Structure 1
Amino acid sequence: MMFTRFTEGARRAVVAAGIHALDAGRPTLDAAPILLGLAEVQPFALKHFTADPADVRRLAGLPDPRALLATLGIDLDEVHRRTRAGAEDPRRWSLRRSRVRPLRVTLYGPLGSLPLTPAARKVVEVAKSRPGPVTGERLLWGLLADGGNGARRILRAAGVDVAALVREAAIPARRAA
Structure 2
Amino acid sequence: MFDRFTQGAREAVVRAGFLALDAHRATLDADLLLLGVAEVRPFTLPSFTASGADLRPRLDLGDARSLLATLGIDLDEVRRRTRAGTDAPELWSLRRSRLRPLRVTLDGPLGRIPLAMHARKVIEVAMWKPGPVTGERLLWGLLADGANGAGRLLAEAGVDVAALVREAGIPVRRAA
TM-score, L = length of structure 2: 0.95
Residue 15 (structure 2) pairs with residue 16 (structure 1): yes
Cα deviation for residue 42 of structure 1 reads 0.3
Give, as a single letter, the amino acid of the residue that structure 2 aligns with 1:169.
A
Amino acid at match of 1:71: T
What is the aligned partner in structure 1 of residue 3 from structure 2? 4
How big is the shift at 1:118?
1.1
Q: Which residue of 2 aligns with 1:72?
A: 71
C-alpha RMSD over aligned residues: 1.4
Cα distance in structure 1, aligned partners of 2:142 and 2:89: 21
Q: How far 1:163 sits from its partner (Å)?
A: 0.4
Alignment check: 8 A CA contact 1:57 1:63 kept: no
Offset at residue 109 of structure 1 (A)? 0.7
- Equivalent AA in structure 2 for residue 35 of structure 1: L
Counterparts of 2:65 and 2:83 in 1: how far apart (Å)? 16
Which moved further from structure 2: 54-63 or 37-46? Answer: 54-63
Report the secondary structure of 1:114's partner residue: strand
Shift of residue 64, structure 1, vs aligned partner? 5.7
**Residues 119/19 of structure 1: CA separation in 2 closer, same or farther (3 Å cut):** same
What is the distance in 2 between the residues matched to 1:168 and 1:28? 31
The match for 1:97 is 96
Measure how far apart 1:88 and its partner are: 0.6
Aligned residues: 176
Secondary structure (helix, strand or coil) at the match of 1:113 reads strand
Q: Which residue is 2:161 aligned to?
A: 162
- Conservation of the 8 A alpha-carbon contact between 1:145 and 1:174: no
SS class of match (2:94): strand
TM-score (norm 1): 0.94
Question: Residue by residue, what CA displacement relative to the aligned partner does 1:111-169 show, whole Å, maximum 9, x if unpaired?
Answer: 11111111111100100011110001100000000000000110000000000000000
Match of 1:148, SS state, is helix
| CA-CA distance at 1:175 after TM superposition | 5.2
SS of structure 2 residue aligned to 1:48 = coil
CA contact (8 A) 1:106 1:116 kept: yes
- 1:136 is aligned to 2:135: yes
Gaps of 5+ in 2: none
Shift of 1:55: 2.1
1:115 is the counterpart of 2:93 = no
Residue 51 of structure 1 deviates from its aligned partner by 0.6
How much does 1:66 deviate?
A: 3.2
Residue of structure 2 equivalent to 1:86: 85
- Give the whole-Å Cα distance in 2 for the aligned partners of 1:39 and 1:56: 8
Aligned residue identity for 1:61: D
| Distance apart, 1:85 and its partner CA | 1.5
